[in-house]
Amino acid sequence: MSTPGTDGGELAAPYGSGPSARESAPRKKVRVHHLRELKERGEAWPMLTAYDMYTAELFDEAGIPVLLVGDSAANNVFGYDTSLPVTVDELLPLVRGVTRAVKYALVVADLPFGSYQLSPEQALATAVRFMKEGRAHAVKLEGGRKFAPHVEALTSAGVPVMGHIGFTPQSEHNLGGYRVQGRGASGEELVADALALQEAGAFSVVMEMVPAEVAKQVTHSLSIPTIGIGAGPDCDAQVLVWQDMAGLRRGRTPRFVKRYADVAGVLSKAATAFAEDVRRGEFPGAEHSFH
């Protein structure tokens, strides 16, 4: 983890030269070409989801170069059982909160189910809303070769696009549930999908739940970065949903999740302590009252 500096302008670089050199170089806004440069230098980078201001601010200060306002807000903000029901109107205010909070991170807005599949025109109209109203820096959509025309329409209009292949949660009913994709012969299909997205102008591609060997092959076939989630150690970048990463979500988590904290435990203890204080008459104290 990088260490925040004493003021907003002097944080350790989230990308670039590694821990020793340029420690005090001022951070710059992350741009898509920086991510390609990291791939060329073989430096892995992290991505996290964010859905609100405080988490976006913390992750930005921690040096996370790319934040995704995922349609997984469906599960992790709104409490739906899948990502399918969440709408553009529900996601837009979350994107706005995240983009308001960051100084450096590239903010990617995930296009939700039904908001882009109809046509390249629909994809562009939706992306324009996320850019204008959400102030997103880029958008993400799910799909391979079949969505190359959609990606092309967006990149031609100046919208950077992140692809997403392998297990694509918006197609879970068609894929038959949460299953690893690209085993056996379909590994070749994944390479073809990734190449088509790159050719259409995508600046990066998420690969979800793909065998590590296949993900490695895709990564080496592309000049744009691959971002893995359950896709092994050889992707150019790694992404997790922040509530999984920080242990806010309880219960069984997918195999690809590593927990770095127990935020659920911390919040639960805080709420319990507050409740006890109020019930015992110990809060508010004199120092919390106006005289």
Ligand X SMILES: CC(C)C(=O)C(=O)O
Ligand Y SMILES: Nc1nc(=O)c2c([nH]1)NC[C@@H]1CN(c3ccc(C(=O)N[C@@H](CCC(=O)O)C(=O)O)cc3)CN21
Residues of the shown chain interacting with ligand X in the complex, contacts defined by CB under 6 A: 49, 68, 70-72, 110, 164, 206, 229, 239, 241
DSSP 3-state assignment of 166? strand
Is 140 annotated as contributing to ligand binding? yes
Active site residues per annotation: 208
Residues 6 or more apart in contact with residue 55 via CB below 8 angstroms: 242
Dihedral-angle region of residue 253 (phi above 0 means left; psi in -120 to 50 means alpha; beta otherwise)? beta
Q: Which does 178 bind (CB under 5 to 8 A by kind): ligand X, ligand Y, Mg ion, none?
A: ligand Y
* Cβ closest to ligand Y, residue 46 vs residue 120: 46
Sign of CA pseudo-dihedral 277, 282, 285, 289: positive
Residue number, 215 or 229, with CB nearest to ligand X:
229
Q: Which residue's beta carbon is nearest to the bound ligand X?
A: 70
* Interatomic CA distance for residues 239 and 74, integer angstroms: 17
* Tokens found for residue 154: 């967006």
Q: Are 222 and 195 in contact (CB under 8 A)?
A: yes
Q: Please identify the residue of the shown chain whose CB is closest to the bound ligand Y.
A: 254
Is 216 one of the annotated binding-site residues? no
Annotated ligand binding at 156? The verdict is no
- Which residue from 88, 27, 21, 77 is spatially nearest to 52, judged by alpha carbons? 77
Binder among 46, 63, 70, 247 for Mg ion (CB under 5 A): 70
Residue 49 binding target from ligand X, ligand Y, Mg ion, none, CB below 5 to 8 Å by type? ligand X
Q: How far is the CB of 241 from ligand Y (least distance, A)?
A: 4
Of 81, 66, 115, the residue nearest 236 (C-alpha): 66
110, 152, 193, 244: which one binds Mg ion (CB under 5 A): 110
Phi, psi of 240 (to 5 degrees): -135, 155
Known binding residue 262? Answer is: no
149: exposed, middle or buried (Cβ count in 10 Å: 0-12, 13-18, 19+): middle
Q: Residue 52, annotated ligand binder? A: no
CB 60 within 8 A of CB 102: yes
- Is position 244 an interface residue for Mg ion (rule: CB under 5 A)? no
Residues that bind Mg ion (CB under 5 A): 70-71, 110
Q: Which residues are annotated as a binding site for Mg(2+)?
A: 71, 110, 142
Instruction: Extract the annotated binding site for 3-methyl-2-oxobutanoate.
Output: 71-72, 110, 140
Question: Which residues carry a binding-site annotation?
Answer: 71-72, 110, 140, 142
